[in-house]
Amino acid sequence: MARPRLLFLTDRGERHQKIALRGAPPQVETLLRRRPDAAETAALLPTVEMLVSERNQPVTAAMVEAAENLRLIVRLGSLSHDVAVAEAKARGVRVSVQPVTGCIYAAEHLVMMTLAVLKRLGRSLHAAAQAGGATVNGSPLAGARRTDEDTFAYNWPGYADLRGLTGKTVAILGMGEIGVELARRLKGFAPGAVLYHKRTPYPADVERELGVASADREECLARADVLVCLLPYGPETDLSLGAAAFGRMKQGAALVHGGSGSVLDEGALLSALRSGRLSGAALDTYEWEPLAPEHPLAAYARDPASNLLLTPHVAGAAEPGSYAGDFDEVVRFLGGEPLRWEV
């Protein structure tokens, strides 16, 4: 008996495509295509019963019409504005919008890094671990006293440059699924504005839902108190975030980088940090990985006053051995179970 066919439309690179295919359920014949052209898509659609799409892979009404045997659409991600939900349901095709756990983990990590760089967490952790150094009105405070509601040594190192997220402008370069999940999580901190730059902006209703506003790259650079870079790697983005970009940013703005490592000019970043152009930076990805002990970034970050925070490419929690979770709704559908994310 022939296995049902599934067409998986993706933007993933070759490495992640292979991982995804390893996680595909064996009872399904999975056809994975990266950005197929219209002709290839049109040829495949009549042959499949299930369709999985993600990120920049829309599912149009014409596609639903062409897929005469289609029974299930799964959008990997939390937005369905470019999926023909109404047309699919009218034809009896079930639709599920399944959030991507790895993107959620990455967004959580980015929130953590944003707060850490604004609050200069590395320096505070070092000061607390070293202990001592308490002052009152700039004068050393000898000895510790037991705390109560009126006795305490608030901010004993005397820091005057700690900031928070409330009221600040966050600008996101590269507004894919991680950026969407980040915007959802930033709303609770009441930022002054969340701007984003994307080649194709989201519809107005999606922007309202996320609490974001589209802006060009120059406006993002100029207005950001915190610039979050989530840009993928490509010829146009190779080392594109460098001295020219930092020169357009506010004096004392901060950078959080979780996009492709080779998008960031690390030498220019170090210069911007040393000069005070940027007040701090937090990075999870690098041009060369893993970082060597003698790497200038690593050396600079060892100074707790640098406000350069580095994590070892762990924002997604951990790279899975497979992306089997991407097929959770497919497996439920095949087993006759209720769909968790059906719309």
In whole angstroms, give the CA distance from residue 96 to residue 101: 15
| DSSP assigned state of 35 | S
In whole angstroms, give the CA distance from residue 66 to residue 120: 55
Instruction: Provide the pLDDT for residue 36.
Output: 94
Class of domain 104-120+161-310: alpha beta
**Domain residue ranges in the chain:** 5-98+320-334, 104-120+161-310
Q: Which long-range contacts (CB under 8 A, 24 or more apart) does 235-240 make?
A: 237/263, 238/262, 238/263, 239/263, 239/264, 239/265, 239/287
| DSSP assigned state of 9 | E
Same fold, 5-98+320-334 and 104-120+161-310: yes
Provide the CA 68 distance to its chain's centre, in angstroms.
Answer: 36
φ, ψ of residue 181 to 5 degrees: the values are -65, -35
Token pair listed for 315: 């924002």
105 contacts: CB under 8 Å, gap ≥ 6? 315, 316, 317
In whole angstroms, give the CA distance from residue 106 to residue 181: 9
In whole angstroms, give the CA distance from residue 250 to residue 243: 13
In whole angstroms, give the CA distance from residue 21 to residue 31: 9
Rounded to 5°, angle at Cα 133 from 127 and 138: 120
In whole angstroms, give the CA distance from residue 171 to residue 213: 9
Token pair listed for 160: 């005057």
CATH code, 5-98+320-334 = 3.40.50.720
Instruction: Provide the pLDDT for residue 144.
Output: 79
Locus of tokens 């000061």? 127
Instruction: Please name which of 213, 281, 220 lies closest in space to residue 245, comparing C-alpha atoms.
Output: 220
Provide the CA 22 distance to its chain's centre, in angstroms.
Answer: 24
Report yes or no: 329 and 77 within 8 Å, Cβ to Cβ: no
State the amino acid at position 152 in one-letter form. Answer: F
174: left (phi over 0), alpha (psi -120 to 50) or beta: left
In whole angstroms, give the CA distance from residue 177 to residue 230: 10
pTM to 2 decimal places = 0.92
Query: What are the residue ranges in the chain where pLDDT is below 70?
Result: 1, 132-142, 318-322
In whole angstroms, give the CA distance from residue 286 to residue 277: 21
Instruction: Provide the pLDDT for residue 145.
Output: 84
Instruction: Provide the pLDDT for residue 318.
Output: 66
